[in-house]
A = this chain, B = another copy of it.
């Protein structure tokens, strides 16, 4: 697919705070965006989803995907937009048949549990994911330079979890059984996934994504040793193939392993710009460990948003102060992108998000004064 001719026609970026922070450059305030910021906690999202009929109906329709991606930006002074899509679009394009029953998580019609099923897997034709790239281009145009647009995918390991289990899991019994008893099959799946994810993210970049993020949502369920072999190595394989520039502009990459705090030193060796962290990580320690090479993104517990605005403000300040003194000057240095440590809950009161965004902007400006 050739979508690269499009990107040079986009409006210039007005708020580059997020991109600068990704590249460890000084900013006037700490940028903030929220994982799953376009989602069910917003009444306007629920209205659009109602019109679309289903989650996939929403994600595969360019106009709807554009509409819901921009909804949180109209309410809050967020510093980035993230493509409205799902982490599992790639295995869906491999023919596994993704669906979302109401009130439940993702489900595949076909799971990948034996040698025959693995043999059938291949990097999918990107034409099957054209709805994603069309949405990226449409959102980028609609943003009109307000804030940068983040593209994303699930990590090779996280995709494999769903492909083998067929759905979410409490114990990852099926995927880990394959990992321990047929490591050859697991490596085969992960190689295909890594090459597919790299191609998918590169095509998102060509379509207009200004940063890309790999969600290793289930990396943290692996044992020490298995994480390095079955998750980290394939995230590295994705990163090795990623475009770093588009039309001469740097495209930062973010890796987020939920529950991966114990492997931070090893993740510090990845060829990405930013590491996402969940709330179990101490930001001050993380900065000391990897802040010399990586920007850090995170890490407020989303459940803080159920407390009062004053309490939300206090917890946001705690996270900012835990990261510590902002980097200033013209060179590169440790930078922080504020986010939650996981996706925002569907039960979150929308006005509490406004309190959070204001608190992060105001306090992070005070820290620089």
Q: A residues near B, CB below 8 A?
A: 171-173, 176-177, 179-181, 220, 222-227, 259, 261-262, 279-282, 299-304, 306-308, 311, 315, 318, 322, 341, 345, 347
Cβ of B345 and Cβ of A307 under 8 Å apart? no
13 CB-based A-B contacts, threshold 8 Å: A176-B303, A180-B301, A180-B303, A180-B304, A180-B311, A181-B306, A181-B307, A181-B308, A223-B300, A227-B280, A259-B259, A262-B262, A262-B282
CB distance from A135 to the nearest CB of B (A): 28
Partner of A303, one of B173, B220, B304: B173
CB distance from A233 to the nearest CB of B (A): 17
On chain B, the residues within 8 Å of A299 by CB distance are 223
Seed contacts A173-B347, A177-B306, A180-B303; 9 additional CB < 8 Å A-B pairs? A171-B303, A173-B303, A173-B306, A180-B307, A223-B279, A223-B280, A223-B300, A224-B282, A262-B262
On chain B, the residues within 8 Å of A222 by CB distance are 279-280
The 9 closest A-B pairs by CB, nearest first: A176-B303, A223-B279, A180-B307, A177-B306, A181-B307, A223-B301, A224-B282, A261-B262, A180-B304
Number of copies: 2
- How far is A224 from B347 in the complex, measured between Cα atoms in Å? 23
- How far is A79 from B272 in the complex, measured between Cα atoms in Å? 47
* A223-B341, A345-B171, A347-B173 known; A315+B282 contact, CB < 8 A: no
CB distance from A347 to the nearest CB of B (A): 7
On chain B, the residues within 8 Å of A304 by CB distance are 176, 180
Cβ of A315 and Cβ of B280 under 8 Å apart? no
Cβ of A318 and Cβ of B225 under 8 Å apart? yes
On chain B, the residues within 8 Å of A262 by CB distance are 261-262, 280-282
Cβ of A180 and Cβ of B280 under 8 Å apart? no
* A261-B262, A301-B226, A318-B225 known; A176+B306 contact, CB < 8 A: yes
Cβ of A315 and Cβ of B173 under 8 Å apart? no
Partner of A224, one of B173, B176, B279, B307: B279
- How far is A281 from B223 in the complex, measured between Cα atoms in Å? 7
Partner of A301, one of B176, B261, B318, B341: B176
CB distance from A321 to the nearest CB of B (A): 11
- How far is A308 from B183 in the complex, measured between Cα atoms in Å? 12
